[in-house]
Amino acid sequence: MTDAKTQIDETVKANDVVLFMKGTKDMPQCGFSSRVAGVLNYMGLEYTDVNVLADDAIRQGIKDYSDWPTIPQLYVKGEFVGGCDIVTEMTLSGELDTLFDENGLAYNKEAADKIREANA
């Protein structure tokens, strides 16, 4: 499991935003992963996607790494943000915008506003 942990740690630290998910950002393979990738894609955020279905060691390893039992998992600037429910809540409250702003990440603020308007 050390190799998976090292790989996960290097990926999280080497990229500004990482989404560990089932499938890819272009072809999610579960509803929760699809929801988070859909939000990030719609907001135009650049991020690295890691398909946990491609490697069982990574799939289990990311759960151990974050001490979080579910996938997807979003990391921003090396910090664990949360899974689908947390990312959804943060998107709707504007907290996700704040997190991106505080970390100097480029995204489409108008798209973020449209998500909130559609869910008001």
Give the CATH fold of the 2-118 domain.
Glutaredoxin (3.40.30)
Q: Is 84 annotated as a binding residue?
A: no
pLDDT tens, residue order, the chain (120 aa): 469 999 999 999 999 999 999 999 999 999 999 999 999 999 999 999 999 999 999 999 999 999 999 999 999 999 999 999 999 999 999 999 999 999 999 999 999 999 999 998
What count of other Cβ atoms lies within 10 Å of the Cβ of residue 41?
16
Q: Across the chain, how many H-helices and E-strands are there?
A: 6, 4
Name the residue with tokens 């499938």. Answer: 23
Question: Which residues, 6+ apart, have CB-to-CB distance to 63 below 8 Å?
Answer: 69, 70, 71
